[in-house]
C-alpha cells in the first residue's frame, strides 16, 4: 500500500487497534498437529476521511491459487442492481465487464436477465475456468492498467463495469478504480461498485468483520470521494442490509476529477472517525465480560459457525481456548480444525450437535443467520444448556 490514503490522498493515519499472534483465516486443518503461521493484524485510521486500512503485512493472498467461490448465492438486493442497469440505459447487447467475477454467479444472473455481451476478469485460475465452463468469456488476470488496456483492445470499451466485493481486497484501491476509468465508455458509461460498509463495524461493534483478507474499510462518504478523485461522478450512494451488517452500492459515470471533501461530507466523516476511535475501548469491555461468563460456563462450550467471523471473534477476544466445538454445516469444514488463536475446537454439523449435545454452553455466534441460530438455541434450551449471547453484551455496552 502507498502511504497516502486512497480516498483523500492525505497521509494522516493513526493507530487504531491490533491483534497479536493470529493464524491466517480460511486454513482448515485435518489435525491440530498441523502448524500454522501466525502474524500481527494491525489497523490504522485516516483522521482526514475516516478510512481504516491494514497497517501490518499479513501473509499475502495469492488469489490466482484461491479455489473457493466467494458467493454461493446472491444477496436479496442483487435483482435491484440488475434492474437498475436497464433503468440507466444499459441494453441487453451492450458490453458489460465484471471485475472480480469469481465463479460467475453475477454473470449468470445478468445472462438470466437477458444480457448477452458479458466478460469477466478473475485472478483465480480455478474460478475463471469454472466460469468458462458456464460459457462466459473470462480474462484470468489481476485487474489493473495493463489488463484494462487489454480489455479495450480485444473487446472495445465496456458500456458498464460491475465490481462487487473486490475493491476491499486490493492493495492500492485508488489505482484499481482509476484503471476502470480508462476502459469505460466515456459518454454513457455506467459503473457499479459494491463493497462492505466499514462504518457498520464501529456502529454495531462487529469487530470480527476486521480480517486479514480485507485491506481497506470504507464508508459511503470516503468511497465516493475515492471515485471522484479517479474521475467518476457518483450519481447514487445506497446502503443495503446484508446478514448482520450492510453493504455500500455506488453508481457512477465518467466525470471530472474532484478531490475536495464537501462540508456536508465533512460532518459525516467526523462522526465516523469518532466512532472508530471509541471502538477499541468498547470491544475490550465486551470481551472482558465474555471472558468472565465463559470462565463460569458449564463445559463443553459450543459456538455457532466456523467461518472467519467466528474464528476472528474468538481470536480477537483471546478466547479461542474456551471453545470445544464449532457448529457449521459446510461439508468442507466439518471434521476439520479451524484456524483459531489459542485453541483447536472440533467442527461438527448441526445434526451432530443435535444428536450429541446434552450439556454445556452454546455461544450464539451465528451472526446474521437468525433461523439457524434459533434451531441451535431451541435444542440447547430443551437440553438445559446455558446460552451466552454476544449481541446482548454489545447492546449492554451501547
Q: What is the pLDDT of residues 158-177, one digit of tens each?
A: 999 999 999 999 999 999 99
Q: What pLDDT does 70 receive?
A: 55
Q: What pLDDT does 114 receive?
A: 97
Q: How confident is the model at residue 11 (pLDDT cuts 50, 70, 90)?
A: very high
At the fourth CATH level, the homologous superfamily of domain 276-397 is NAD(P)-binding Rossmann-like Domain (3.40.50.720)
Q: What pLDDT does 172 receive?
A: 94
pLDDT digits (tens, 9 = 90+) for 58-75: 566 777 666 665 555 688
At the fourth CATH level, the homologous superfamily of domain 61-255 is Vaccinia Virus protein VP39 (3.40.50.150)
CA–CA separation, 160 vs 202, rounded Å?
33
DSSP-derived secondary structure for 79-123:
HHHHHHHHHTT--TTS-EEEES-TTSHHHHHHHHTT---EEEE--
120: β partners: 98, 138
Q: How confident is the model at residue 1 (pLDDT cuts 50, 70, 90)?
A: low
Give the range among 24-38, 135-149, 196-210 with minimum mean pLDDT: 24-38
Q: Is 33 helix (H, G, I), strand (E, B) or coil?
A: coil
Give the range among 57-66, 280-289, 307-316 with minimum mean pLDDT: 57-66
Say how many Å lie between the first and final Cα of the chain, rounded. 34
Residue with cell 445506497: 238
In degrees rounded to 5, what are phi and psi of residue 31? -145, 150
Q: Is 209 helix (H, G, I), strand (E, B) or coil?
A: helix
Hey, where are the domains in the chain?
61-255, 276-397
Q: What pLDDT does 297 receive?
A: 97
Q: What pLDDT does 398 receive?
A: 73
Crossing angle (nearest 10°) for helices 263-296 and 220-229? 130
**What's the mean pLDDT when you consider all of the chain?**
93
Mean pLDDT, residues 190-201: 97
CB-based burial label for 351 (10 Å; 0-12, 13-18, 19+): exposed
Nearest to 6 by CA among 143, 213, 167: 167
Q: How confident is the model at residue 53 (pLDDT cuts 50, 70, 90)?
A: very high
In degrees rounded to 5, what are phi and psi of residue 223? -65, -40
Examine the pLDDT at 15 and tell me if it is beyond 90.
Answer: yes
Spell out the residues 6+ positions from residue 290 whose beta carbon is closer than 8 angstroms to its own. 317, 319, 388, 390, 393
Q: What pLDDT does 263 receive?
A: 75
Taken as a whole, the chain contains a residue count of 398
Cell numbers of 393, please?
Answer: 453484551
DSSP-derived secondary structure for 297-346:
SPSSEEEE--SHHHHHHHHHTT-GGG-SEEE---TTTTTSB---TT--PE
Spell out the residues 6+ positions from residue 213 whose beta carbon is closer than 8 angstroms to its own. 25, 26, 61, 169, 308
Q: What pLDDT does 316 receive?
A: 96
45: β partners: 14, 52
Same fold, 61-255 and 276-397: yes
262: β partners: none
DSSP-derived secondary structure for 145-171:
HHHHHHHHHHH---SEEEEES-GGG-S
Considering only residues 225 and 257, tell me which one the structure prediction assigns the higher pLDDT.
225
Residue with cell 476529477: 257
Neighbouring C-beta atoms of residue 67, cutoff 10 Å? 11
Spell out the residues 6+ positions from residue 180 whose beta carbon is closer than 8 angstroms to its own. 99, 143, 148, 161, 163, 191, 230
Q: What pLDDT does 266 receive?
A: 82
Q: Give the pTM.
A: 0.93
Considering only residues 46 and 25, tell me which one the structure prediction assigns the higher pLDDT.
46
Nearest to 190 by CA among 165, 163, 154: 163
Cell numbers of 326, please?
Answer: 464449532
CA–CA separation, 247 vs 219, rounded Å?
10
Q: How confident is the model at residue 243 (pLDDT cuts 50, 70, 90)?
A: confident
Max CA pair span of the chain: 66
pLDDT digits (tens, 9 = 90+) for 113-162: 999 999 999 999 999 999 999 999 999 999 999 999 999 999 999 999 99
Which run of H or of E encompasses 242? strand 232-242
CA–CA separation, 293 vs 271, rounded Å?
33
Examine the pLDDT at 3 and tell me if it is beyond 90.
Answer: no
Amino acid at each position: 500500500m502507498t502511504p497516502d490514503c486512497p480516498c483523500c490522498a492525505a497521509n494522516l493515519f493513526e493507530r487504531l487497534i491490533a491483534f497479536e499472534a493470529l493464524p491466517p483465516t480460511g486454513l482448515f486443518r485435518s489435525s491440530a498437529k498441523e502448524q500454522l503461521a501466525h502474524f500481527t493484524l494491525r489497523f490504522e485510521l485516516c483522521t482526514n476521511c475516516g478510512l481504516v486500512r491494514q497497517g501490518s503485512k499479513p501473509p499475502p493472498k495469492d488469489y490466482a491459487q484461491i479455489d473457493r467461490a466467494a458467493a454461493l448465492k446472491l444477496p436479496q438486493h442483487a435483482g435491484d442492481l440488475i434492474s437498475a442497469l436497464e433503468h440507466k440505459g444499459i441494453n441487453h447487447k451492450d458490453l458489460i465487464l465484471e471485475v472480480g467475477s469469481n465463479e460467475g454467479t453475477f454473470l449468470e444472473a445478468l445472462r438470466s436477465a437477458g444480457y448477452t455481451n458479458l466478460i469477466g476478469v478473475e485472478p483465480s485460475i480455478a474460478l475463471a475456468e469454472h466460469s468458462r465452463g458456464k460459457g462466459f468469456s473470462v480474462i484470468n488476470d489481476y485487474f489493473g492498467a495493463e489488463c484494462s488496456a487489454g480489455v479495450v483492445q480485444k473487446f472495445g470499451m465496456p458500456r458498464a463495469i460491475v465490481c462487487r466485493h473486490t475493491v476491499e481486497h486490493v492493495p492500492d484501491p485508488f489505482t484499481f478504480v482509476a484503471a476502470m476509468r480508462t476502459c469505460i465508455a466515456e459518454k454513457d458509461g455506467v459503473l457499479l461498485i459494491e463493497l462492505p460498509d466499514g462504518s457498520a463495524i464501529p456502529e454495531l461493534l462487529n469487530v470480527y468483520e476486521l480480517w486479514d483478507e480485507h485491506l481497506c474499510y470504507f464508508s459511503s462518504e470516503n468511497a465516493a470521494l475515492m471515485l471522484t478523485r479517479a474521475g467518476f461522478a457518483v450519481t447514487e450512494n445506497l446502503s443495503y442490509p446484508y446478514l448482520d451488517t450492510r453493504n455500500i452500492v455506488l453508481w457512477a459515470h465518467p466525470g471530472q476529477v474532484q478531490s475536495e471533501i464537501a462540508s456536508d461530507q465533512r460532518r459525516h466523516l467526523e462522526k465516523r472517525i469518532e466512532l472508530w476511535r471509541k471502538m477499541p475501548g468498547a470491544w475490550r469491555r465486551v470481551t472482558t465480560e465474555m471472558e468472565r461468563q465463559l470462565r463460569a460456563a458449564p463445559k463443553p462450550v459450543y459456538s455457532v459457525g466456523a467461518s472467519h467471523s467466528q474464528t476472528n471473534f474468538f481470536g480477537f477476544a483471546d478466547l479461542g481456548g474456551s471453545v470445544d466445538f464449532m457448529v457449521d454445516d459446510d461439508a468442507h469444514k466439518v471434521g476439520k480444525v479451524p484456524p483459531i488463536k489459542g485453541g483447536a475446537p472440533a467442527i461438527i454439523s448441526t445434526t451432530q450437535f443435535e444428536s450429541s449435545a446434552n450439556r454445556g454452553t452454546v455461544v450464539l455466534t451465528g451472526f446474521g443467520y437468525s433461523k439457524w441460530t434459533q434451531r441451535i438455541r431451541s435444542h440447547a434450551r430443551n437440553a438445559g444448556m446455558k446460552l451466552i449471547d454476544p449481541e446482548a453484551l454489545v447492546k449492554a455496552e451501547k
